[in-house]
Amino acid sequence: MIKYSSLFSPLTAAAAVLAVVVLAASPASAGVVATASFESPVLNAGEIQYGPDAFGFNTLAVGPVAISDFTFTGFSGIYKNGALGVFPDTSFGTQSAFLQSYDGTGTPTGGSISWALSGLTAGATYNLSFLATAAFIVPGENFTVSAFGSAPLLIIPTVGYQTYAFDFTALSSSGTIDFVGPAIPVGNFATAIDNITVSTVPEPATLSLLAAGLLGAGALRRRKSSKA
């Protein structure tokens, strides 16, 4: 028979370890710092609204798109799915931003989207994640993404929204997230980008404590099994 007193000490110790893990993880656990999903301004179905450089190509819209903290350059803007079905539907909203390379002006032109952020902690590590998909009716536009001056990361999207993510270090409290699509010599290429999110990353010490807590819980379970 296993007496209650023989279990009390290990259980108390494990509970104490897990309590320390929870308390230590709370202040430094991952949390969303900023997010953007391009659902405002609300467009009509099938509407394409370009930034200032190409708003003459707008469909069902007047004037260039204007979103706080975002700069749209070249062939870029926002789009709402409709009968055209340029991009796949999503479960998180009907609008998305897009990058396009187009040669219809006589000079091939790409596009870029820049998101200005502030309030980050200089020297801290953050995670950038976003969704991207190639278009249905034209080839996808490959593009690069960089955060607060990080080395550009090449993204080659496929049809169907995929999640892309990487960590970066904020060298200052303010900076930009930059999505840049190159000008492709001939043709029309387009890619949608949505649900851009910047989150904090738990500190290494917190992760170590969490691992120690999980190991302690596993050891307790094995000890209980062997006694039984």
Q: Is 162 helix (H, G, I), strand (E, B) or coil?
A: strand
Contact predicate 64/49, CB 8 Å = yes
DSSP code per residue over 10-57: HHHHHHHHHHHHHHHHHHHS--EEEEE----SPPPTT-EEE-TTSGGG
- Greater confidence (223 vs 20) lies with 223
The sign of the dihedral angle between the CA atoms of 46, 72, 114, 183 is positive
Q: Is 158 helix (H, G, I), strand (E, B) or coil?
A: coil
Supply the pLDDT for residue 6.
31
**17: pLDDT confidence band, cut at 50, 70 and 90?**
very low
CATH of domain 30-201: 2.60.120.260
pTM exceeding 0.85: no
Which tokens go with 109?
């032109």
pLDDT band at 63 (very low <50, low <70, confident <90, very high): confident
Mean pLDDT score, 118-128: 97
For the stretch 65-122, pLDDT in tens is: 999 999 999 999 999 886 557 888 777 788 999 999 999 888 999 999 999 999 999 9
- List 34's β-bridge partners, or say none: 198
- pLDDT at 206 (0 to 100): 46
How far apart CA 39 and CA 24 sit, in angstroms, is 36
pLDDT for 139: 94
Handedness of CA 64, 69, 70, 71 (dihedral sign): positive
What does the domain layout of the chain look like in residue ranges? 4-27+205-227, 30-201
Query: What is the spatial distance between Cα 31 and Cα 75, in angstroms, rounded to a whole number?
Result: 33
Least confident of 28-37, 63-72, 170-179: 28-37
Q: Is the CB of residue 176 less than 8 Å from the CB of residue 120? A: no
